[in-house]
């Protein structure tokens, strides 16, 4: 069981570039969640997806951020025209069901915008 796989582990982008973060959920998990962790801050919910559907994007910034979870392949969090304030650790989690206790998290992608 490989767990939740995120890549890349570290990503450096210049201001104005695009960042693409990938997440492969645990085997058998069809629910994916993205969280952002800013320095000295807790984890903040961004978006919840199931295969081919965005279920809840109430935590996503209105502009430049998008997410998808296609029928085949990993979930992608895309940040267009990155700014320094986007520098953070982005965590993906997955679960087998919507309910239950907590999720399984990946090790995160640390995005640095220079």
Partner 1 sequence: QKEVEQDPGPLSVPEGAIVSLNCTYSNSAFQYFMWYRQYSRKGPELLMYTYSSGNKEDGRFTAQVDKSSKYISLFIRDSQPSDSATYLCAMRGRDGGSQGNLIFGKGTKLSVKP
Q: Which two tokens stand for residue 73?
A: 């392949």
Contact flag: residue 61 with partner 1 (CB under 8 A): no
Given the complex with partner 1, which of 8 and 16 has the nearer CB atom? 8
Given the complex with partner 1, which of 17 and 54 has the nearer CB atom? 54
Contact flag: residue 42 with partner 1 (CB under 8 A): yes
Among 34, 48, 65, 69, binds partner 1 (CB under 8 A): 48
Given the complex with partner 1, which of 10 and 15 has the nearer CB atom? 10
Interface segment toward partner 1; rule CB under 8 A; list 14-22, 55-63, 68-76, 77-85: 55-63
Beta strands 10-13 and 109-113, pairing class = parallel
Among 1, 14, 40, 72, binds partner 1 (CB under 8 A): 40
**Extended strands (E) in 40-87:** 43-50, 53-56, 65-68, 75-79
Contact flag: residue 103 with partner 1 (CB under 8 A): yes
Q: How far is CA 21 from CA 89, 99, 100, 106, in A?
A: 11, 25, 26, 12
List, in sequence order, every residue forming a beta bridge with 20; answer none if it has no partner.
78
Q: Which two tokens stand for residue 53?
A: 């559907």
């Amino acid at each position: 069981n490989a767990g939740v796989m995120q890549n890349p582990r570290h990503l450096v982008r210049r201001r104005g570039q695009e960042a693409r973060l990938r997440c492969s959920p645990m085997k058998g998990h069809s629910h994916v969640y993205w969280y952002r962790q800013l320095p000295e801050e807790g984890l903040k919910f961004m978006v919840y997806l199931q295969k081919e559907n965005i279920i809840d994007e109430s935590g996503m910034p209105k502009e430049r951020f998008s997410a998808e979870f296609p029928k085949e392949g990993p979930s992608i969090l895309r940040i267009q025209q990155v700014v320094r304030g986007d520098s953070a650790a982005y965590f993906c989690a997955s679960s087998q069901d919507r309910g239950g206790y907590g999720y399984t998290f990946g090790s995160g992608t640390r995005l640095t915008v220079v």
